Amino acid sequence: MLAGFPVLLVLITWAFTLLAAADGKAGFWAGFKESIAMLPAALPVAVVIALIWFAIAWFANQRIIDAVAGATAVTRDQERLLWDTTEALAISRGMRTPRLAVIETAAMNAYASGMTLDQGAITVTRGLLSALNQAELRAVLAHELTHIRNGDARLGVVAAVFAGVISVGGELLIRGFSRTSLRRTARTSSSSNRGKGGAGALVLVALAVAALAWVLSIALRMALSRNREFLADAGAVELTADPDSMVTALRKISGHAEMQGMPSQLRAMLLHDGANSLGPAWFATHPSLEARIEVLVRTAGARDIMPELPPAALDQAAADDATIFLNPAAAPSSAVPPSPASSPPATPWWRQPPSPPAPG
């Protein structure tokens, strides 16, 4: 999927050359050919800008993410349970314990970041720490640790940075030129007998190309996030051997995951994006919680049990004027036994012994 980003860079560069060609007095087709001819000279400039953006992100990504999200690094003395749980999970996989940080908000969420395994970091919210029990917190931390182990955290940062380049270029073209360029090119084309209407048409094509690149960059970034959430859930089950806790953790954060004011580039990295998991599937940053839970029940033998929030979480949510609703529909019905076809497998995949080697 990352192969699509160079295509988007070419599209947004072409949009700029179309606008540059629209300043001339040539007709539409002459300006169209001129914009194509300018691409070889414009693309190296675009590549240099993208590389500078990447360099800044590589060396300062964690500081930028912390500043935008409002995260604060914590020590073992400040958050002993968080540190001990994460350290035990990291040791079990031969990994360095990631840097840990906390966001002081009642929202229930978490994310992993870092460009390398040694730079890995896990950030959780205060609401998540208050709401989850130790087994559920362990499952969530295993989910985020899997993101780091699989390179998803690095991919998320790269996708956010590259998509940011495209988004900034698209927004600049659409917002900055949608009015002024149309008025300017309308005056230019009206005074030209040979290129009447050509400049205005070029501007419209440029805006259409920029809008296409902008939309595709958002859809591509969201697809990168969606495809890896199922893998991280599976990795958490493999690491903890406790699919039930992963399910109850997801149930608890349902309806309480929205991070107010967080940019879309960071929302794609969250455990769950409460603000942008609805609407068209292509533009959702995450699969729905129901879909993730259904996969855990079907493939890992998890039980979909309605969780109970601890009094501390209820008090904190009430203090922040957040009303917490439990979902009674999530509780399994005892009146009607499940059919054999819908029952989870007797031995889930994560408990099955390895297959014997083939004879011969």
Q: What number of other Cβ atoms are within 10 A of residue 126's Cβ?
A: 16
273 with 183: CB under 8 angstroms? no
The C-alpha atoms of residue 318 and residue 333 are separated, in whole angstroms, by 29
Q: Could you give the CA distance from residue 359 to residue 332 in angstroms, rounded to a whole number? A: 44
Query: Exposure string (b/e) for 322-352, b if CB count within 10 Å is 16 or more?
Result: bebeeeeebeeeeeeeeeeeeebeeebebee
Q: What are 71's strand-pairing partners?
A: 103
Residue 62's φ and ψ, nearest 5 degrees, are: -70, -40
The C-alpha atoms of residue 228 and residue 146 are separated, in whole angstroms, by 10
| Rounded alpha-carbon distances, angstroms, from residue 115 to 74, 155, 173, 262 | 20, 8, 30, 20
Active site residue 34: no
Pairing of strands 71-73, 99-103: antiparallel
Type of residue at 273: D
In DSSP terms, 102 is beta-bridged to 72, 124
Number of CB atoms found within 10 A of residue 236's CB: 27
Q: Do residues 38 and 23 touch, judged by C-beta distance below 8 A?
A: no
> Which phi and psi (to 5°) does residue 319 adopt?
-65, -30
Q: Could you give the maximum distance between any two Cα atoms of the chain, in Å?
A: 84
Contact 275, 297 (CB under 8 A): no
In the set 104, 136, 144, 308, the catalytic residue is 144
CA distance 61 to 55: 9
226 within 8 A of 284, measured Cβ to Cβ: yes
**Which residues are catalytic, by number?**
144
